Amino acid sequence: MTQSPNIPPPSAAAPGQGLDGAAAVTAATGEVHTAKTLEDTKGPTEKEILRVENLTVEFPTDDGVVRAVRDVSYSLREREVLSIVGESGSGKSVSSMALLGLLPRSARVSGKVLYRGQDLLAMRQKDLRSLRGRKISMIFQDPMTALNPVHTVGDQLAEAVLAHELVPPKHALERAREMLDLVGIPQAGQRLRSYPHEFSGGMRQRVMIAMAIINNPDVIIADEPTTALDVTVQAQILEKLLEVKDAVNSAILLITHDLGVVAGLAHRVLVMYAGRPVEIGATDDVFYRTRMPYTAGLLGSIPSMTSAHGERLRPIKGTPPSLINLPEGCPFSPRCPLADDTCRSAEPPLAPANGASRGAEGTEVIETADGVRIGEHLAACHHWERLAAAEDPTAFFRNGGITP
């Protein structure tokens, strides 16, 4: 197996620890951190719960059309954790907000978002509102923007129940207490009467998780749920997310700009660049059988077990392209050490990139009843075979791009 030397197996890293393995032992709440990994949770079923087909989002602006999301397709199974990873501006949030009809009116959205076979993009607003927060819920990066400062946490949680269910308010409040308890808020009964500002950042994010699971959703979309928190609290929150996934049997779409947190946390990874998926596959495939130079660049910029904490090893030089004026050919070509004339003239399709060289190492591909292949390793690169042949694909980014 070809392997980047600074990357331990994903299963060896606890969620949120990143790949440097920093252990988080205590919580702000006093709870002991047990470092659960994805392997300790219930695995995905073979049933597809969400399928996104050719999702495209454009924003007309005075400067031109921003092509924020281009032809995004993926599938999510029950209880699966799929992570969407990419640099700032790569279209992670816009593609996820589009699923739930949360984009501004100016957005031009096309494609299909099939939730249990129903197309959310073709649904009436009223029906979509009824699904939102009940069957598909969202956790945002900053809980303060999602929580109302003038209402108690208990009232807000109860309101999330009452918005979808005709139950006595007392029952809704009791459910709120159970959820706070489940996400690890001590003295949940008393804390129901607290206001958001009376909680720490990590506790507020736990409240957001409670809010997201209170109606037993099938899918939780977590958009950078821990970016604003310190490393120790990040680990606890991500672990809590895995735990509640099992409690409510939901799938998670986990959005992050940090490939390091994905290890041990996601079954599959979708890497986005310039609004488009450039690599998708089982987490092990993406980490150890990397087939796209951009992914290799991201892996090479994760701090290793031996590097000083926070040190970036080999950052990818340059910046992502303008989404108004995308370069001709592969959008990564201006930053790619492997770029040649072919790359600069034609954008590579997202295509199977396993090939004979991968042999028996590849992850099993599941074919659903309607012929969708899940788990397939796809990459958008004309030269993926060069990565397949390399001992350490991250080395392409060493010394200004000398071939390993």
Ligand X SMILES: Nc1ncnc2c1ncn2[C@@H]1O[C@H](COP(=O)(O)OP(=O)(O)OP(=O)(O)O)[C@@H](O)[C@H]1O
225 is a site residue for ligand X (CB under 6 A): no
**378 vs 400: CA distance, rounded Å:** 26
Q: Which is nearer to ligand SF4, 44 or 348 (CB)?
A: 348
Q: Which stretch binds Mg ion (CB under 5 A): 86-94, 208-216, 225-233, 264-272?
A: 86-94
DSSP H or E segment with residue 354: none
Among 4, 56, 75, 93, contact with Mg ion (rule: CB under 5 A): 93
61 is a site residue for ligand X (CB under 6 A): yes
363 is a site residue for Mg ion (CB under 5 A): no
Of 361, 368, 223, 341, which Cα lies nearest the Cα of 291?
361
| Least CB distance to Mg ion at residue 96 (A) | 8
Task: Give backbone dihedrals phi and psi of 219, rounded to 5 degrees, phi first.
Answer: -135, 135
| Least CB distance to ligand X at residue 380 (A) | 17
**2 vs 25: CA distance, rounded Å:** 33
| Least CB distance to ligand X at residue 224 (A) | 6
- The single-letter DSSP state of residue 351 is E
Tell me the per-residue interface mask from 94 to 123 with ligand X, x by CB under 6 A, - otherwise.
x---------x-------------------
**325 vs 337: CA distance, rounded Å:** 22
Applying CB under 6 A, the site for ligand X has a residue count of: 15
Q: Which is nearer to ligand SF4, 120 or 378 (CB)?
A: 378
Q: Which does 104 bind (CB under 5 to 8 A by kind): Mg ion, ligand SF4, ligand X, none?
A: ligand X
295 is a site residue for Mg ion (CB under 5 A): no
Q: Which of residues 313-332 bind ligand X (CB under 6 A)?
A: 323
**392 vs 404: CA distance, rounded Å:** 7
90 is a site residue for Mg ion (CB under 5 A): no
Residue that the structure tokens 């201006």 belong to: 334
3-state DSSP of 207-259: HHHHHHHCCCCCEEEEECCCCCCCHHHHHHHHHHHHHHHHHHCCEEEEEECCH
Q: Which stretch binds Mg ion (CB under 5 A): 25-33, 39-47, 92-100, 191-199?
A: 92-100
Of 292, 376, 259, which Cα lies nearest the Cα of 13?
259
Among 75, 90, 283, 354, contact with ligand X (rule: CB under 6 A): 90
Among 83, 93, 283, 301, contact with ligand X (rule: CB under 6 A): 93
Q: Which does 257 bind (CB under 5 to 8 A by kind): Mg ion, ligand SF4, ligand X, none?
A: ligand X
Per DSSP, what are the bridge partners of residue 115? 50, 118
Summarize as ranges the residues that interact with ligand SF4 (CB under 6 A). Answer: 292-293, 330, 332-333, 336, 338-339, 343, 348, 381-383
Q: Which does 336 bind (CB under 5 to 8 A by kind): Mg ion, ligand SF4, ligand X, none?
A: ligand SF4
Work out the number of other CB atoms within 10 angstroms of the CB of residue 85.
25
- Tokens for 13, please give them: 């890293």
Q: Which does 91 bind (CB under 5 to 8 A by kind): ligand X, Mg ion, ligand SF4, none?
A: ligand X
232 is a site residue for Mg ion (CB under 5 A): no
Of 134, 110, 125, 12, which Cα lies nearest the Cα of 52?
110
Residue 83 has, within 13 A of its CA and on its CB side, a CA count of 28
Q: Which is nearer to ligand X, 68 or 244 (CB)?
A: 68
Residue that the structure tokens 């331990």 belong to: 8
DSSP H or E segment with residue 338: none
Largest CA distance in the chain: 67
Q: Which does 10 bind (CB under 5 to 8 A by kind): Mg ion, ligand SF4, ligand X, none?
A: none
Per DSSP, what are the bridge partners of residue 373? 367
Q: Which stretch binds ligand X (CB under 6 A): 73-81, 83-91, 232-240, 393-401?
A: 83-91
| Least CB distance to ligand SF4 at residue 328 (A) | 11
Tell me the per-residue interface mask from 244 to 273 with ligand X, x by CB under 6 A, - otherwise.
-------------x----------------
Q: Hey, what's the torsion of the CAs at 368, 369, 371, 374, to 10 degrees? A: 0
In the complex, the residues that contact ligand X under the rule CB under 6 A are 59, 61, 66, 68, 86, 88-94, 104, 257, 323
In the complex, the residues that contact Mg ion under the rule CB under 5 A are 93
